[in-house]
């Protein structure tokens, strides 16, 4: 009898006794993510499920990430199959208006310049002894694009998924803090006050409708390995611009995006098991992610300066900083910075153009990268 009682009691304390030293630390990390999401409003729709998933997976003996654990089932269904980031992309496409970009298609080039950080960080990661595919996954943090980072990392370096995703989403939301000092440093006062005028409405509905088709076909032919990324974001946008499937568009940008975001967040959190996550490698990845976003901003602004010279002073180099995928935070940062030096300067719509260019640019960079890897026989 007493033996049965002791065994029963043992069952209640096993959870505490089985704690690895890393589990309490990771539970604390989960709580910090929840705090950032709830109190600081940093990407709450992602940080809340990620933080909670992180806490769940660090409670021992629950077996949530074991073969039949519910988190493992969600992970296998949506991350291993790459389905979650792609469904999110349909929603992003449905939410995005590429009009400001199409008003001045040259701005596409700023969206390309904003991707330099990906490739420069890739080299840094290689220098720090990461494997080639790990370096690709770390570099992609510079896309400033959560779903792209998750798609690439889950495919090529799933062991880094937790660190890469957390870095991508945290730095994306820290864009208003990271970008302004770099923008100020790299531009002169004369450049900051350049007025680009107002954006005239000059894009027809037909052009807007053809845009997603052109990107899908051209991008797909150049970089077929990235077609899932390009195809899904452009499908969402095509549905929006067609105007005839408003039910599907609404579902993509609301119900589907919300459900998938919840499942995606909790799956990412589930990869943050302390025994795997708490390594020096994670800290290096977080540092490299920060470097990637700084390099993106710097290269975007420097390319903006080139465009200023080429256009005879018509382009304000500040909008180059918006050539990343952090939409619309980056465009707002540019508007705010521009108005500090010239209160009558309205750069927002120009920056929105560069920002949507950055969205296309980041997806295109990932697509090109995947096809180059395939071409080199690495994947």
Residues that bind another protein (CB under 8 A): 102, 105-109, 111-113, 115-116, 118-120, 122-123, 126-127, 132, 135-136, 201-207, 210-211, 214-215, 218-219, 222-223, 357, 360-361, 364-365, 368-369, 371-372, 376, 378
Task: CB nearer to another protein: give 72 or 225.
Answer: 225
CB of 237 to another protein, least distance (A): 13
Residues 6+ apart with CB under 8 A from 196: 314, 315, 316, 319, 345, 347, 350
Return d(Cα 74, Cα 269) in angstroms, integer. 12
Six-digit token string for 247: 């039910």
CB-CB neighbours of 246 under 10 Å: 11
Task: CB nearer to another protein: give 63 or 105.
Answer: 105
CB-CB neighbours of 202 under 10 Å: 10
CB of 252 to another protein, least distance (A): 23
CB of 322 to another protein, least distance (A): 15
CB of 19 to another protein, least distance (A): 39
CB of 134 to another protein, least distance (A): 11
Residues 6+ apart with CB under 8 A from 152: 136, 137, 140, 366, 369, 370
Distances (CA, A) of 43 to 35, 146, 173, 357: 11, 11, 6, 22
Residue 224: burial class (beta carbons within 10 Å; 0-12, 13-18, 19+): middle
CB of 365 to another protein, least distance (A): 4
Return d(Cα 346, Cα 326) in angstroms, integer. 19
| Largest Cα span, the chain | 91
Task: CB nearer to another protein: give 61 or 218.
Answer: 218
Task: CB nearer to another protein: give 57 or 113.
Answer: 113
Return d(Cα 178, Cα 9) in angstroms, integer. 51
CB of 375 to another protein, least distance (A): 8
Task: CB nearer to another protein: give 47 or 367.
Answer: 367
CB of 250 to another protein, least distance (A): 23
Task: CB nearer to another protein: give 141 or 270.
Answer: 141
Task: CB nearer to another protein: give 56 or 322.
Answer: 322
Task: CB nearer to another protein: give 106 or 275.
Answer: 106
Residues 6+ apart with CB under 8 A from 62: 56, 69
**Tokens 């420069």, residue located:** 120
Q: Among 165, 125, 133, which Cα is nearest to 149's?
A: 165
Return d(Cα 74, Cα 254) in angstroms, integer. 20
Reduce the DSSP state of residue 272 to 3 states and report it. coil
Q: Among 171, 120, 111, which Cα is nearest to 321's?
A: 111
CB of 227 to another protein, least distance (A): 13
Task: CB nearer to another protein: give 52 or 108.
Answer: 108
Return d(Cα 87, Cα 187) in angstroms, integer. 39
């Amino acid at each position: 009898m007493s033996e049965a009682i002791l065994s029963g009691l043992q069952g209640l304390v096993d959870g505490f006794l089985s704690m690895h030293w890393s589990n309490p630390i990771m539970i604390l990390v989960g709580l910090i993510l929840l705090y950032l999401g709830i109190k600081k409003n940093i990407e709450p729709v992602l940080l809340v499920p990620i933080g909670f998933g992180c806490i769940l997976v660090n409670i021992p003996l629950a077996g949530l990430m074991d073969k039949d654990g519910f988190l493992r089932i969600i992970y296998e269904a949506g991350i291993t199959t790459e389905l979650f980031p792609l469904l999110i992309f349909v929603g992003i496409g449905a939410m995005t208006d590429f009009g400001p970009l199409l008003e001045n298609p040259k701005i596409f080039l700023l969206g390309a310049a904003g991707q330099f950080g990906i490739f420069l960080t890739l080299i840094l990661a290689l220098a720090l002894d990461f494997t080639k595919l790990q370096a690709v996954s770390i570099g992609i943090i510079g896309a400033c694009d959560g779903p792209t980072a998750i798609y690439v990392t889950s495919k090529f370096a799933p062991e880094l998924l937790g660190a890469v995703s957390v870095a991508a989403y945290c730095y994306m939301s820290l864009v208003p803090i990271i970008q302004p000092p770099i923008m100020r440093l790299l531009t002169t006062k004369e450049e900051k006050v350049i007025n680009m005028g107002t954006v005239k409405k000059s894009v027809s509905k037909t052009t807007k409708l053809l845009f997603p088709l052109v990107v899908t076909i051209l991008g797909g032919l150049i970089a077929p390995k990235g077609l899932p990324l390009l195809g899904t974001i452009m499908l969402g946008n095509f549905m929006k611009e067609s105007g005839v499937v408003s039910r599907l568009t609404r579902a993509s940008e609301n119900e589907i995006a919300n459900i998938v975001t919840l499942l995606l967040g909790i799956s990412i959190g589930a990869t943050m098991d302390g025994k795997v996550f708490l390594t020096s490698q994670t800290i290096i990845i977080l540092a490299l992610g920060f470097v990637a976003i700084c390099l993106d901003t710097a290269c975007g602004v420097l390319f903006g300066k080139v465009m200023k010279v080429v256009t005879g002073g018509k382009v304000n180099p500040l909008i180059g900083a918006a050539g990343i995928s952090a939409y619309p935070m980056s465009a707002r940062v540019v508007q705010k910075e521009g108005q500090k030096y010239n209160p009558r300067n309205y750069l927002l719509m120009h920056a929105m153009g560069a920002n949507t260019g950055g969205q296309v640019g980041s997806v295109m960079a990932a697509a090109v990268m995947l096809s180059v890897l395939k071409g080199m026989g690495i994947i």
